[in-house]
Amino acid sequence: MADSPAFDFVAERIERLTNLSDTSARGALRLALKAALFDPRTVDGMQMLTVIERILPGELQVRGVKDPMFVCKTLAIAVKASFRSWSDFQSPEFIFDRLIRR
Amino acid sequence: MFAMLGIGAFFLVGLLVSIRLLTLWRRTRQWPELAAALGLLGIGPLGFCVMMTGYVLFRDTPVMPYFRAAGVGVQVLGFVASLSFTWRVFRPKEKWAAVLVAGLSLALIGTGIGMIVSPSVPGHLALQFHLDLVLKILTFGWGTYEPLRYWWIARQRVALGVADPLVSASFLMWGITSGAGTLGFIIVYAAIASLGPGGHLPTPVYLVLSGIGLVAAVSLYLSFLPPQVYRHRVEAHAPASGG
């Protein structure tokens, strides 16, 4: 099973916004997702936002990325602007959140 | 009468939740809310009401078999919708899940037709009776396993501060609802299979089923219609995290 659109989207932007290579960017993102028990193949936009805000800054800092908070804020804005187009990739959390709250 | 209280409560909550989910579906047009609503309606209040209408108002008339057939049909559709909900929510990308849903759905429809054409009576249970209940137990069993598995992961994410405690609790409640359904069908199966010709289910069986119905009603209510008090309680008891 391929990585989710949310994963590919964010990994690509980490590479563009930082000095990390494609492999390092994907590795950092994979570790951040793993720390939050998310699967790169099924992670959706909402879950990705949480990881970007709470876990990714630490992973980027470990890799020597300058101003990881700014990078993550930029990533969060990009994800918020785009994740409606990934609506076919809805996690169980996303669906249950809608069923409960809307 | 008391013995039917729990089942009645479950049907009433099932109806309320279905109406809410259908209202949501009118706005979102998303499959999970429609599938959950159809599943709850078909398995619970609608299928049961159609069958009971035939039994109470048209008993021993030529019309009754049609009500029975309609009731069985609606229930089968409810189970198929329930399978579809579990698949689309918890395993949307897994091919084995798609195959499982297709296989179980076809088997449910086939046995449903068998039940309509050749109804079973206690003491002379036909193959389709056994198949029907085993398939329903499998459907509910899978519908129990998936949300509970997801709840187990989600509660760890809640502790890490990356998941919503109320959503996590809803997985648990939905798992309990489906688990109650699984247990209810196992008990019904065992009780009917042990009856002799012309036998009736004993009162203790109805009482146990009523208790299970009450548990299912409460957990279903908390799954999809969580009241404010419950929401605050769940959020207040969520493990503290760094974020």
The pLDDT profile of chain B, 243 residues, written as one tens digit per residue, is: 666 789 899 999 999 999 999 999 999 999 999 999 999 999 988 988 888 888 788 888 899 889 989 999 999 999 999 999 999 999 988 999 999 999 999 999 999 999 888 877 666 778 888 999 999 999 999 999 999 999 999 999 998 888 899 999 999 999 999 999 999 999 999 998 888 777 888 889 999 999 999 999 999 999 999 999 999 999 898 875 544
Largest distance between two CA atoms of chain A? 41
pLDDT value, residue B242: 45
Chain B residues closer than 8 Å to A98 by CB = 24, 28, 30, 33
Chain B residues closer than 8 Å to A96 by CB = 89, 167, 170-171, 174
**CA end-to-end span of chain B, whole Å?**
51
User: Least CB-CB distance to A50: which of B24, B36, B162?
Assistant: B162
Contacts of A34 (CB under 8 A, 6+ apart): none
Tell me if residue A74 falls in helix, strand or coil. helix
User: Least CB-CB distance to A96: which of B24, B156, B167?
Assistant: B167
Residue pLDDT, tens place only, A90-101: 889 989 999 998
Q: Is B140 left (phi over 0), alpha (psi -120 to 50) or beta?
A: alpha
Closest-CA distance, B157 to chain A, in angstroms, reads: 6
User: Least CB-CB distance to B170: which of A1, A42, A96?
Assistant: A96
Residue pLDDT, tens place only, A26-56: 999 999 999 999 999 888 888 899 999 999 9
pLDDT value, residue B186: 97
Contact A15, A21 (CB under 8 A): yes
Contacts of A57 (CB under 8 A, 6+ apart): A68, A69, A71, A72
pLDDT value, residue A89: 63
Closest-CA distance, B224 to chain A, in angstroms, reads: 5
Cα B212-B146-A46 angle, rounded to 5 deg: 120
pLDDT value, residue B161: 86
Q: Do A98 and B36 touch (CB under 8 A)?
A: no
pLDDT value, residue A85: 64
Q: What is the pTM of this model?
A: 0.86
ipTM, two decimals, is 0.90
Chain B residues closer than 8 Å to A47 by CB = 162
pLDDT value, residue B123: 67
Closest-CA distance, A39 to chain B, in angstroms, reads: 11
Q: Do A54 and B161 touch (CB under 8 A)?
A: yes
Chain A residues closer than 8 Å to B163 by CB = 50, 93
Cα within 13 Å of Cα(A42), Cβ side:
16
B residues 74-103 lying closer than 8 A (beta carbon) to A: 89-90, 92-93
Nearest CA among B101, B98, B193, B187 for reference residue B138? B101
Q: Does B23 touch chain A (CB under 8 A)?
A: no
Average pLDDT score over chain A = 89
Chain B residues closer than 8 Å to A53 by CB = 243
> In 10 A of CB B118, how many CB atoms?
11
